């Protein structure tokens, strides 16, 4: 469950990452980086909760990045089954 304070802080952090993001399929220009690999699982777990999904949807660069990363073969092959 998200707390209001935690959601506000998380949204602020995602907003700062949005400002830094290159706006493509990777966070940094020049290809996939450790930043992409570290942020991906966090963004996927945050996106599983409705308030987190709404926060991510409000950030166009991160939304495009997450959609692109979600289709990478390595991501598809290693995504955990949480059912």
Residues 20-69 pLDDT 10s: 887 777 888 888 899 999 999 999 888 888 888 999 999 999 999 999 89
Q: Using pLDDT thresholds of 50, 70 and 90, give the confidence band for residue 81.
A: confident
Give residue 20's pLDDT: 84
Q: Using pLDDT thresholds of 50, 70 and 90, give the confidence band for residue 72.
A: very high
Neighbours of 30 (CB within 10 A): 7
Residue 47 CA to chain centroid, in angstroms?
8
Q: Using pLDDT thresholds of 50, 70 and 90, give the confidence band for residue 5.
A: confident
C-beta separation of 53 from 47 below 8 A: yes
Q: Any idea which residue has 């802080």 for tokens?
A: 9
Give residue 54's pLDDT: 92
Higher-pLDDT residue of 42, 82? 42
């Amino acid at each position: 469950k998200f707390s209001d304070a935690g959601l506000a802080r998380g949204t602020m952090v995602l907003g700062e990452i949005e400002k830094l993001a290159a706006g493509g399929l990777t966070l940094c220009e020049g290809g996939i980086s450790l930043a992409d690999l570290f942020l991906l699982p966090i963004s996927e777990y945050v996106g599983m909760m409705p308030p987190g999904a709404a926060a991510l949807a409000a950030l166009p660069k991160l939304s495009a990045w997450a959609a692109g990363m979600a289709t990478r073969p390595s991501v598809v092959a290693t995504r955990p089954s949480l059912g």
